[in-house]
């Protein structure tokens, strides 16, 4: 230490043009419950970024703030701003945000159970008026061949098939950015592998940018190039997938199987020592 102020090394995300930028947002539910407390993150164009965190940390809330669905749950962004391709989108209605190119695949798949898979896919293209919808349905079937064989109601599909339908439905909107909330939830390890393989392909082959919320950190970091860890409504750690995978705390909480006891990052020495803010 020679007394001069050391400039922090530039983060990897800062070196790339951001498609999505969330700046210091605060989210309140029902006018009183403060859930996000100054959260910031960046998603570079064409990349997969993972958002990790324990139950109740506010991951889904973050995605809903971006997609505008917060409005449907009495939630409100009370501070900060969200920019998509440089343009402010916070405060817009969800249907406007879908038209701008952001599509959220909600937690729990949320397919329309009393419609066929085909009708669900058509609904995904609701905002489009071009003539390529039919061709796109075939493209989705090429990614998910088993959906094509299912002609009954989507409610009778298996969990894995419903997840695939939910992702396929998102593709139908031809989004630039997909917000994916826990795609591995309730799936067998084999299916998780399959779904993540497809997520990687969508990113590589179609160039879709993905913000991926996951409990399964190992899987998420295996497809993502960058990751954020959040706790109690804030980002507490971020880094490239390699950095996070090598991080002792991440290893302990998200990658290792050290019992089920819930601890917090805050209480960890290593975290306190390197405490940093975005």
Ligand X SMILES: Nc1ncnc2c1ncn2[C@@H]1O[C@H](COP(=O)(O)OP(=O)(O)OP(=O)(O)O)[C@@H](O)[C@H]1O
Residue 30 interacts with which of ligand X, other proteins, Mg ion, none, CB < 5 to 8 Å by class:
ligand X
CB of 162 to other proteins, least distance (A): 13
CB of 60 to ligand X, least distance (A): 3
Nearer to ligand X, 232 or 245 (CB): 232
User: By CB under 8 A, is residue 132 in contact with other proteins?
Assistant: no
Taking CB under 5 A as the rule, which mask of x and - marks residues 146-185 in contact with Mg ion? ----------------------------------------
232 is written with which tokens? Answer: 């109690």
CB of 12 to other proteins, least distance (A): 30
The count of other CB atoms within 10 Å of the CB of residue 120 is 22
User: By CB under 6 A, is residue 53 in contact with ligand X?
Assistant: yes
Which one of 25-33, 110-118, 138-146, 238-246 is the stretch in contact with ligand X (CB under 6 A)?
25-33
Find out whether 68 and 92 touch, Cβ atoms under 8 Å.
yes
Q: CA-CA distance, 131 to 141, in Å (whole number)?
A: 18
Which one of 25-33, 93-101, 104-112, 114-122 is the stretch in contact with Mg ion (CB under 5 A)?
104-112
CB of 67 to other proteins, least distance (A): 7
* DSSP labels, 163-180: HHHHHHHHHHT--SEEEE
The count of other CB atoms within 10 Å of the CB of residue 177 is 22
Cα distances (angstroms) measured from residue 232 to each of 36, 68, 88, 208: 7, 21, 25, 29
The count of other CB atoms within 10 Å of the CB of residue 174 is 18
User: By CB under 6 A, is residue 216 in contact with ligand X?
Assistant: no
Q: CA-CA distance, 90 to 8, in Å (whole number)?
A: 30
Cβ neighbours of residue 204 closer than 8 Å, sequence gap 6 or more: none
* Binding-site ranges for ligand X (CB under 6 A): 29-30, 33, 35, 53, 55-61, 73, 75, 107, 215
């Amino acid at each position: 230490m020679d007394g001069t102020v050391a400039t922090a090394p530039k983060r990897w995300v800062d070196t790339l043009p951001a498609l999505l930028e969330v700046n210091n947002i605060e989210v309140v539910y029902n006018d009183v419950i403060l859930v996000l407390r100054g959260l910031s993150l960046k998603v570079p164009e064409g990349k997969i970024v993972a958002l990790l965190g324990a139950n109740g940390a506010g991951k889904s809330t973050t995605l809903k703030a971006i997609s505008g669905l917060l409005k449907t749950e009495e939630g409100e962004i009370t501070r900060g701003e969200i920019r998509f391709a440089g343009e402010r989108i916070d405060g817009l209605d969800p249907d406007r945000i879908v038209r701008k190119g952001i599509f959220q695949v909600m937690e729990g798949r949320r397919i329309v159970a009393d419609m066929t898979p085909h009708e669900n896919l058509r609904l995904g293209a609701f905002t489009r008026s071009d003539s390529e919808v039919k061709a796109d349905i075939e493209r989705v079937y090429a990614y998910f061949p088993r959906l094509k064989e299912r002609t009954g109601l989507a409610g009778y599909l298996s969990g894995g098939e419903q997840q695939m339908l939910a992702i396929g439905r998102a593709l139908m909107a031809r989004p630039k950015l997909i917000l994916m909330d826990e795609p591995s939830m309730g799936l067998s390890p084999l299916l998780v592998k399959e779904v993540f393989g497809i997520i990687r392909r969508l990113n590589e082959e179609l160039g879709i940018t993905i913000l991926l919320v996951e409990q399964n950190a190992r899987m998420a970091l295996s497809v993502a190039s960058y990751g954020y860890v959040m706790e109690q409504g804030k980002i507490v750690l971020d880094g490239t997938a390699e950095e996070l995978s090598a991080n002792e705390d991440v290893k302990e909480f998200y990658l290792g199987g050290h019992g089920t006891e819930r601890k917090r990052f805050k209480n960890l020495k290593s975290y306190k020592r390197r405490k940093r803010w975005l």
